[in-house]
Amino acid sequence: MKVSWRTLPTVLLEDEVLDKAFSRARKAADRVDDSDRIFRVRKQMSRMVQTAADVIATTFTDTVNVWPSLDQSPKFDVAMIDACVGCDDYRHHLSMLQWASKQVLNIAGQNSKKIIRTARTELMHDARKEAYGRISSIMRRVKPSLIWLSEARETLKRLPTIDQVLPCIVVCGAPNVGKSAFISALSSGNMEVNHYPFTTKQIHVGHFTHRRLQYQMVDTPGLLDRPMTARNTIELQAIAALEHIGSIVLFLMDESEACGTSLEEQMHLLEDVQAMLPGTDLMVVTSKADLLQPLPEMWDVVAEAESMWREEGSEGTPDLPLLMDPKGRVTMSATEFVGMDAMRMEIIRRVKDARQIDPMALPEGWYRRDQD
Ligand SMILES: Nc1nc2c(ncn2[C@@H]2O[C@H](COP(=O)(O)OP(=O)(O)O)[C@@H](O)[C@H]2O)c(=O)[nH]1
Ligand SMILES: [Mg+2]
């Protein structure tokens, strides 16, 4: 089952769970109809106890079941959970709910017996009250876990949702080099806006489709945009997580320095990123080609080839000439949309190469001809 953090239901807090349980219990008691007073009270009291416990146990086991199990989660998710909320805490608080659900059912079992075994109605009432007291004290013990889970849910639901099976292009570079503009220009639909908990900046996730395969692009603001020495362990973990999802990493360089970071600093950042993600194919791209002076030699040729291909319906895998800057680096302009289609083709080609190195990265059910 694929879980999206966004769709995790709200976690009810201690008071809300108790209110729900006790009000259902009251209604269950109200429905009891027996002309014999002793029978009636006995049924009422045992239904109250049983219903209250069932409601709580079900609420808790539902939560435990719907939250992803770490053992079965993809590495990227586990690394993100660890970076954002901590895997140990995650396990601990979910197991507290499991424990509480068992305890509450035990209490209901024990006190129901007391209710059934006596013929005195005041003892039945006492056993019911005692059960409620014990249940409430269990609830006090899970209170911190409920609060923790509720907060963790808020954090996790703002994370980008990335499909592990689909290729993912991680876009990095200094602030304002044009990462978001790039993703937006290549996206066929609207970009999703997400957040990492350790940055106030928005993360963008975009998609495009080529030959029925969907490609994801993800932004890295606040992550791969400043010197690594300035980072805490949480950020480092999140960066490491990117390695699990990145089929290819694009590093954008703004030669115009319009972004506000000098080229020298951008070079240092590039070295840092290379060191952080040693296992991934890194492609350095010059952004904002329209600001280069003079414009790249091939500007008109590339612009024309791309617009012709689009006019013909953007079909197939054309051999579009890449736009190059004077340093021999691939370049593009997201605002003028020149060099973008050529760039997209280059990305597709590189992703294909990267995916073939690792057969495990192919979606389930796919096979490779060269292994027959
Ligand atoms: N001239 C020009 N400006 C661009 C281009 N791409 C982005 N920008 C501008 O650069 C600024 C920062 O872009 P943004 O995508 O937010 O950068 P990010 O911080 O890396 O995501 C914005 O003002 C953009 O309009 C481009 O290709 N050409
Ligand atoms: Mg941005």
pTM > 0.85: no
Let me know whether 221 and 89 are in one domain: no
Tokens of 179: 């990462």
Contact in structure between 334 and 184 (CB atoms under 8 Å) = yes
Contact in structure between 169 and 347 (CB atoms under 8 Å) = yes
Let me know whether 98 and 176 are in one domain: no
- Number of structural domains, the chain? 2
The predicted-structure confidence for 170-186, as pLDDT tens digits, reads as follows: 999 999 999 999 999 99
CA of 288 to the centre of ligand 1 (A): 7
Let me know whether 28 and 118 are in one domain: yes
The mean pLDDT of 194-198, rounded to a whole number, is 77
Distance CA 266, CA 287 (A): 12
Let me know whether 125 and 75 are in one domain: yes
For residue 371, being part of any structural domain is answered with no
**DSSP-based three-state secondary structure for 255:** coil
Which letter does DSSP use for residue 246 in this model? -
Let me know whether 47 and 82 are in one domain: yes
Let me know whether 86 and 172 are in one domain: no
The predicted-structure confidence for 294-328, as pLDDT tens digits, reads as follows: 999 999 999 999 999 999 888 888 889 999 999 99
Domain span holding position 28: 10-156
Q: Which of 225, 261, 335, 340 to mutate to test the pocket of ligand 1 (most atoms within 8 A of CB)?
A: 335
Q: CA 31: distance to chain centroid? A: 44
Contact in structure between 241 and 198 (CB atoms under 8 Å) = no
Beta partners for residue 214, in sequence order = 209
Distance CA 350, CA 356 (A): 10
Domain holding 36: CATH number?
A: 1.20.120.1190
The mean pLDDT of 90-96, rounded to a whole number, is 98
**DSSP-based three-state secondary structure for 326:** coil
> According to the model, what pLDDT value does residue 3 have?
58
Residue owning tokens 């400043």: 226
For residue 367, being part of any structural domain is answered with no
Ligand nearest to the CA of 184: 1
For residue 114, being part of any structural domain is answered with yes
Which stretches of the chain are DSSP H helices? 14-30, 37-66, 75-84, 87-117, 121-156, 179-186, 233-245, 263-276, 299-311, 340-357
The predicted-structure confidence for 338-366, as pLDDT tens digits, reads as follows: 999 999 999 999 998 876 655 555 555 55
Ligand nearest to the CA of 193: 2
Residue 102 identity (one-letter amino acid): K
For residue 368, being part of any structural domain is answered with no
Question: Which contacts of 227-232 are long-range, i.e. CB under 8 A and separated by 24 or more positions?
Answer: 227/268, 227/269, 227/272, 228/272, 228/275, 228/276, 232/198
Report whether residue 331 contacts ligand 1, using a CB cutoff of 6 Å. no
For residue 284, being part of any structural domain is answered with yes
Q: Are strands 248-253 and 168-172 parallel, antiparallel or unpaired?
A: parallel
The predicted-structure confidence for 20-59, as pLDDT tens digits, reads as follows: 999 999 999 999 999 999 999 999 999 999 999 999 999 9
Give Cβ neighbours of residue 145 (< 8 Å, ≥ 6 apart).
Answer: 92, 93, 94, 96, 97
**DSSP-based three-state secondary structure for 333:** strand
For residue 82, being part of any structural domain is answered with yes
For residue 44, being part of any structural domain is answered with yes
CA of 171 to the centre of ligand 2 (A): 10
**DSSP-based three-state secondary structure for 74:** coil
Contact in structure between 172 and 251 (CB atoms under 8 Å) = yes
Domain holding 325: CATH number?
A: 3.40.50.300
Beta partners for residue 23, in sequence order = none
Beta partners for residue 171, in sequence order = 219, 250
Distance CA 337, CA 54 (A): 60
Last residue of some domain: 107, 122, 156?
156
For ligand 1, atom 2, the nearest C-alpha belongs to 288
The mean pLDDT of 184-189, rounded to a whole number, is 92
For residue 372, being part of any structural domain is answered with no
Which letter does DSSP use for residue 363 in this model? P
> According to the model, what pLDDT value does residue 362 have?
53
Let me know whether 195 and 324 are in one domain: yes
Contact in structure between 205 and 219 (CB atoms under 8 Å) = yes
The predicted-structure confidence for 125-136, as pLDDT tens digits, reads as follows: 999 999 999 999
Q: HSE (CB half, 13 Å, CA atoms) of 39?
A: 5
Contact in structure between 111 and 45 (CB atoms under 8 Å) = no
Last residue of some domain: 129, 156, 183?
156
Helix H or strand E encompassing 217:
strand 213-219
Let me know whether 332 and 292 are in one domain: yes
The mean pLDDT of 5-34, rounded to a whole number, is 94
Let me know whether 185 and 328 are in one domain: yes
Last residue of some domain: 108, 133, 156?
156
Angle (deg, nearest 10), helices 179-186 and 340-357: 90
Let me know whether 18 and 152 are in one domain: yes
Let me know whether 104 and 220 are in one domain: no
Report whether residue 292 contacts ligand 1, using a CB cutoff of 6 Å. no
Put residue 160 in one of left, alpha, beta given phi > 0 → left and psi -120 to 50 → alpha.
beta
Report whether residue 178 contacts ligand 1, using a CB cutoff of 6 Å. yes
Report whether residue 202 contacts ligand 1, using a CB cutoff of 6 Å. no
Let me know whether 261 and 125 are in one domain: no
Ligand nearest to the CA of 174: 1
Residue owning tokens 């040693």: 278
Q: Which of 170, 172, 257, 287 to mutate to test the pocket of ligand 1 (most atoms within 8 A of CB)?
A: 287
